[in-house]
Chains A and B, each alone.
Chain A
Amino acid sequence: MTSEVRVSFTLNGEARSEEMEPNKTLCDFLHDEAGTTSVKKGCDTGECGACTVLLDDMPVTSCLVLAPQINGRDVVTAEGLGTKSAPHPVQQAFVAKDAVQCGYCIPGMIVTLSWIYEHAPGASDAEIKRLMSGNLCRCTGYIQQIDALKSALKRT
């Protein structure tokens, strides 16, 4: 039997307190229990980036975080970045630039690119590629997504 632990955190701006099994990953908790289904499990080994979320405003692969490690911390998923009626500039640019194909990598990709948008808006193309190297996309070849980020930043 797992002894559950009480964990307090904020998820997409909302304060929450939950009983968690400590042997569960943050990825599984967010997708299966918290209702934030944008968080996708891809490789489950921290390579692909499909499960990327912001933890205290830094992008992390949530499959490499034990769920109770978020105690006292701030978690933001793609759901918390924007809504259908008021999307994040990066989300808007993904639509405008057709930067989506199958969609599986997209929530994680948008979380990472939104972080670059906020924290490294002047990044060179090479630096953008370095910063997004933890988000693998099997469909697009990345060009549309870099274009989308730059158009959100009004750099094109």
Chain B
Amino acid sequence: MPELSYIVAAVVVIAMMVYVLSAGADFGGGIWRLFATGPRAQLQRDRLNAAIAPIWEANHVWLILVVVLLFSCFPRAFSAIMTALHIPLAAMLVGIVMRGSAFAFESYPAGATRLQKRSGRVFAVSSAITPFLLGISAGAVASGQITINAATGIVQTNFISEWLAPFPFAIGAFLLALCAFLSAIYMTVEVRNEPELADDFRRRGLWAAVAVGVFALVSLLLAKNGAPFIYHGLARGGFAIFFQIITGLSAIIAIGALIKRRYRLARFAALAQVGLIILGWALAQFPYLVYPDLTIQNAAADPVVLKPILIALAIGSLLLLPAFYYLYRVFKAGKTLSPEPLEATVSDDK
């Protein structure tokens, strides 16, 4: 029953997509903390923190879900990736630990102002490093450099050359730009009641859009040699071209809406654009998990393993999705981070 492994693979792609769209923007928020400038620099920092604080831990769990699904359902691929990419992934973990801890220290300083300031800086820097390293790792997986010794079944690696190459680094920069792009656009909606601040984030969103474009182009050019399979996958057949056009259209709408200050439309288009980029990558790589030796089918665990996990995923989603909906409704939907009229802040305690 090969279909089951494809369904799990689809869930992995969706989880990665949601991770980039949600947690990616949290990283982006940290990046903009680095570039908080101008007369409203402190205000930018405050609003960024307030936007991230209630949701980042929940958003972060999508990454854990990806890891867990990989090792339960595609153990050979997991083992190969974790062995070959030990160095960038371990470095990414250091970034994840520093980002999360520093953010908590900054949020609950108990009056330790120097520690709070330093934590803020660590948070900002590690927010930039982490997605860069994640992008490098993803680029390395896509590059086709991680191969399996057919006789022993063990991954062939020198632990360095697979990721220390132009293409993975371009993907790292590309992911970084995407995170910054998402965050800036989300922020324009969150501070829409403060037009000057919204304009700050609008400008940042436009710069990030330029960076996204540049790194997308660089990645594509480097892919020709650095990840030939992906390169051909992106151009393979009419469907792929159609897909590129939709992605490009979303990007144009996002930028156009940003210029016109139609922030909600911009957010919608940016979500579509970034989601489609991840999906496009997944489709270009299909049916490989780790090109050229591990396909979705040959790396998958037995169907008797996949089936109950899929059932658990389905039941779990029934609990998870309403909970997520509630979280976002309480902290995000229709709310702005800007001070509201007094009536709105009175708690309905009685």
Is chain B a partner of chain A in the same complex? no
Residue numbers of B with Cβ under 8 A of A are none
Which residues of A approach B to under 8 Å, CB–CB? none
